[in-house]
Amino acid sequence: MSHLAAPPIAATETRRPGSAERRAMILAVAHELFLDQGFEGTSMSEVAARLGGSKGTLYAYFDSKEALFEALITDNCARMSAQLFEGPEDTGLEQRLLAIARGYIRLVTSDMAVRMIQILAAEARRRPELGRMFYEAGPAVALDRLSAIVAAAIADGTLDADDPRLAAETLLSLARGKLHLKRMLGQIPEPDEATIDACARRAVAQFLRLCRPIAP
Amino acid sequence: MSHLAAPPIAATETRRPGSAERRAMILAVAHELFLDQGFEGTSMSEVAARLGGSKGTLYAYFDSKEALFEALITDNCARMSAQLFEGPEDTGLEQRLLAIARGYIRLVTSDMAVRMIQILAAEARRRPELGRMFYEAGPAVALDRLSAIVAAAIADGTLDADDPRLAAETLLSLARGKLHLKRMLGQIPEPDEATIDACARRAVAQFLRLCRPIAP
DNA sequence: TATGCACCGTACCGTACAGTACGGTCAATC
DNA sequence: GATTGACCGTACTGTACGGTACGGTGCATA
């Protein structure tokens, strides 16, 4: 009936039974199902079945369906940020812009991110903080990196713009293009690497035409 | 048990009882509830209650919840297209571009469109054709109008670009900016007219810098 | 006044799902 | 060999919803 003894040491969360691997397994299954079928479209029984376990275990690790979902989103956002930081090169300005543009397009049109946006957008009314997590972990990260690069380029005269942040936004907007909206609405499949590259190159070229200082 | 006599004249749809006004009333209520709470989040009982009617009547006008939802989307898409065609002016190029950019931003960040995208995105897996309807009725319409204007401007030398359609897409991408994504994720409220105007002006200015022919 | 019809109100059916309860199994630990 | 605890399997509760059935009401027309 009542808890007689408190657990010896509280872990990062409330007292929980099992191993971190088990938790990761649950999250992996949840990832697969939630991203495929959405939040409402996925039942906890389904998660348990796919896990090869029982609902009891599920609820031992996560207090509710919502809690599991939020943990999943948190997890995925962390993964996203990490992915965006891949391959920071020490090359010229154009190459660095290209790398970021490519990474940004790749991320933002990937099946995972698109599904996340689709689901988070649908839940935006009830849980805007999840949308915020996504934005901070994805687009905001790209924007920060890009702003820094642009600011440096403005400082040494390679670029010309009033506001580095606004300029960075311009490049990302050009990079997204219509790809993103069409992806969100399920009108096109995940673009291949060639398409991503073409979009990134076009965006960077346009950006440079906008922000290259006119030769004096 | 069986239908003995067919109705005298089939209306635009299958034989249906009541008036077009009644249908419109149902759609109005459905609009309010579906856009506010989403498809799964809205129950037919709720629609009937808000209507001040009964579920029986609801199902007399629409075969299923899905049918009602699709009718609503169709309805809203038609309204959207109409809205985009407001105020075609006979002014200079820049003013015409500005008008379209403003109309596009206003539409694509409006509460109605954002809610529609949020809901349609969530349903994109199961019913991509609804997403297509939205795209065709909104963004594609703006793109068509803009392409025509850009093509004409290229023809008479006012603009310089290889592909008018691609150029038009560039303008729309610049216009959307980050506003759209943040709106989708529920991070910012509907922008006011001043914000819309500022975004439109910036987008058009950048577009013209990209596509103005360099003086020979 | 009688007939038909759109509509209301309500009760109902079948199903699906979140969350709980509980007995039993297996492995590690003591 | 006994205890502990994570876990399974299953059954269960309560609730919500899509959709149907049906008797009754009020208005229109014949």
Q: Please give the DSSP secondary-structure letter assigned to residue B17.
A: -
Mutate to test the interface with A, among B105, B118, B120, B160 (most CBs of A within 10 A): B118
Nearest to A174 by CA among A88, A104, A83, A81: A104
Q: How many CB atoms lie within 10 A of CB B10?
A: 10
Spell out the long-range contacts of B78-83 with Cβ–Cβ below 8 A and sequence spacing 24 or more.
Answer: B78/B137, B80/B107, B80/B112, B80/B113, B80/B134, B80/B137, B80/B138, B81/B137, B81/B138, B81/B141, B83/B107
Identify all chain A residues contacting B181, using CB atoms and an 8 Å cutoff: 135, 139, 176, 180
Instruction: Please compute the mean of the pLDDT values over residues B2-27 and round it to a whole number.
Output: 54
pLDDT at residue B13 is higher than 60 = no
Asked if residues A169 and B178 have their Cβ atoms less than 8 Å apart, the reply is yes
Confidence band for B91, pLDDT divided at 50, 70 and 90:
confident
Q: Is the dihedral of CA A176, A177, A180, A183 positive or negative?
A: negative
What is the pLDDT at residue A89? 64
Domain boundaries defined on chain A: 20-62, 73-211
What is the pLDDT at residue A18? 60
Instruction: Please compute the mean of the pLDDT values over residues A74-99 and round it to a whole number.
Output: 84
pLDDT at residue B10 is higher than 50 = no
Q: How many CB atoms lie within 10 A of CB A94?
A: 14
Nearest to A132 by CA among B183, B59, B174: B183
What is the pLDDT at residue B206? 96
To the nearest whole Å, the CA of B8 is away from the closest chain A CA by 41
Partner-chain contact B118 A124, CB within 8 Å: yes
What is the pLDDT at residue A176? 95
What is the pLDDT at residue A91? 84
Q: Residue B128 burial (CB < 10 Å; 0-12/13-18/19+)?
A: middle
CATH topology of domain B20-62: Arc Repressor Mutant, subunit A (1.10.10)
Instruction: Please compute the mean of the pLDDT values over residues A2-25 and round it to a whole number.
Output: 51
Class of domain A73-211: mainly alpha
d(CA B2, CA B101): 56
d(CA B63, CA B34): 17
Q: Is the CB of B65 under 7 A from strand D?
A: yes
Q: How many CB atoms lie within 10 A of CB A193?
A: 9
d(CA A56, CA A58): 5
pLDDT at residue B6 is higher than 70 = no
Partner-chain contact A131 B185, CB within 8 Å: yes
> Would A20-62 and A73-211 be classified into the same CATH topology?
no
> Lowest-confidence range among B13-22, B93-102, B162-171, B180-189?
B13-22
Token pair 């694509």: residue: B108
Among partner residues A120, A184, A187, which is closest to B117 by beta-carbon distance? A184
How does pLDDT run across A119-162, given as a tens digit for each residue?
Answer: 999 888 888 989 999 999 989 999 999 999 999 999 999 999 99
pLDDT at residue A19 is higher than 80 = no
**Rounded mean pLDDT of chain B?**
87
**Rounded mean pLDDT of chain A?**
87
